[in-house]
Amino acid sequence: MSDGRALAREFLEQQRQLGGDWVVLPEGPTPGWRPGSVGPPENAALTPGASPGNTQARPAREGSDLPPPGISYDPPGGDLFSNDPVPQAVSLDVIAQLVAGCTKCRLCEGRRHTVPGEGSAEARLVVVGEGPGRVEDETGRPFVGPAGELLTKILGAIELPRERVFICNVVKCRPPENRLPQFDEIAACVPYLFRQIEIVKPKAILAMGGTAAQTLLNTKQSLGALRNLVHRFRGVPLIVTYHPAALLRNPNWKKPTWDDVRIARRLID
């Protein structure tokens, strides 16, 4: 098997593990492909579920090297006339205080610290992960420990110091044993995240991992299907990429993650 086919097989296996759709390779060479060429035909951009040999490759948008548009999700805002303090919170500090006293879901029972998020209220980029892990629960800070160090390096690579970004998670308390947050826990917690994004008003959002992407886009599509598109959350461009913890388990995803964060960087410039 040639190196190219071995790489393609490895890539497709990764997509399958991520829940992407099966890809049926066309019989014969892909139109535009020449023996010895690498990558897709010159005038094609890989689309959702991007995979070598994907027969649904769409042309890139004319005059732009950004990926094509994806999902647009515009959840209703809070009712300003209700007694709910979250939609009326005027700052990130107020949100953090509300989170600190929150008992809206069962995740409050095992937490040591709430982890509301940290960073600049003027940030041009908001990074959203899944939920606090052990070190985050101990410190009350998001994305610390090995995955956090990797995120700091990723941001450094696009010349964004961590303190100029706002970093947070979908749920603000640690799920036991680092399990995935459950649907009702996400539903209880997500108003905090939505209000944080409203307050920061970023130029772009980077959703890291399937939980963040699916929550912010209100979809069940796999991470593999959501990458390589410019989605919108309340009009703000949103890019989907792998969670740093997943990158530590699978270094092969570093290259696609690098591609994704460079797109996010272009969106905030």
Site of interaction with ligand SF4 (CB under 6 A): 99, 102-105, 107-108, 114, 171-173, 185, 188-189
- Considering the complex, state which of residue 44 and residue 94 has its C-beta at the smaller distance from ligand SF4: 94
Q: Helix axis angle, 145-157 relative to 254-268, nearest 10°?
A: 50
Shortest gap between Cβ of 58 and ligand SF4 (angstroms)? Answer: 38
- Rounded to whole angstroms, the Cα distance separating 50 from 139 reads 38
Structure token pair of residue 26: 């066309």
- Considering the complex, state which of residue 16 and residue 104 has its C-beta at the smaller distance from ligand SF4: 104
Which residues make beta-bridge pairs with 58? 45
Shortest gap between Cβ of 191 and ligand SF4 (angstroms)? Answer: 9
Shortest gap between Cβ of 27 and ligand SF4 (angstroms)? Answer: 50
- Considering the complex, state which of residue 50 and residue 99 has its C-beta at the smaller distance from ligand SF4: 99
CB 121 within 8 A of CB 92: yes
Exposure string for 142-172, b = 16+ CB within 10 A, e = fewer: bbbbebbebbbebbeebebebeebbbbbbbb
Shortest gap between Cβ of 130 and ligand SF4 (angstroms)? Answer: 12
Shortest gap between Cβ of 211 and ligand SF4 (angstroms)? Answer: 13
- Rounded to whole angstroms, the Cα distance separating 20 from 221 reads 8
